[in-house]
Amino acid sequence: MSALSSVAVYCGSATPADPRYIELARDVGRELAERGITTVYGGGRLGLMGAVASGALEAGGEVIGIIPEALASSEVANHDCTELHTVSGMHERKARFTDLSDGFVTLPGGVGTMDELWEAVSWAQLGYHRNPVGLLNAFGFYDQLIAFNAHMASVGFVRPAHQSIIVQAATLTALLEKMDRYEPHRPIFEMTADDL
């Protein structure tokens, strides 16, 4: 049984030509539901987003969608969600993800997914939350990002205390196990000037 009761899933709204990505997203939603973990996601019905929600709902799971007004009004909102919250914009959306979740799982995605991932990491580093930030490195999609994160740390832009904020694995099962064992680090808000 997972220590996580709800997870924010970050992923793309695009549908790549390679069908593995949609299959992955559907499998993630299904596995979260089977583990009794609520899926909190971007509220869309397209691409990986829609596949995550469908996988969870088909497996009997709870799905909470958080969608900005501009996207909801353009008919991309997924009204099949257990709950669908319409918010004013992206800042409120990401804050709601943090409020409603015990952790974050990032699937393959594009610019919006990166924005969500790095904000979750930044907020963890500062101390706005103490939840695990998971990176699902399926198909080696995030190999270069993981290497770049290590490069930032080696140069000195990521403090030693914060180098393990991103938890990564190639499968969701392994990732959730690592996230369950996550030990919160010392956030910047608790450090003194000498620590920084």
Q: What is the mean pLDDT of residues 25-47?
A: 97
How large a percentage of the chain has pLDDT more than 90? Answer: 87
On whether the CB atoms of residues 42 and 70 are closer than 8 A, the answer is no
Domain boundaries, the chain: 6-190
- pLDDT recorded at residue 124: 95
Q: What is the mean pLDDT of residues 94-101?
A: 95
| Secondary structure class of 73 (helix, strand, coil) | coil
At 107-117, the pLDDT tens digits run: 999 999 999 99
Task: Spell out the alpha helix ranges (H) of the chain.
Answer: 20-34, 47-58, 69-72, 90-100, 111-126, 143-155, 172-180
pTM of this structure = 0.94
CB of 32 within 8 A of CB of 61? Answer: yes
Band the pLDDT of 188: cuts 50, 70, 90.
confident
CATH dotted code for 6-190: 3.40.50.450
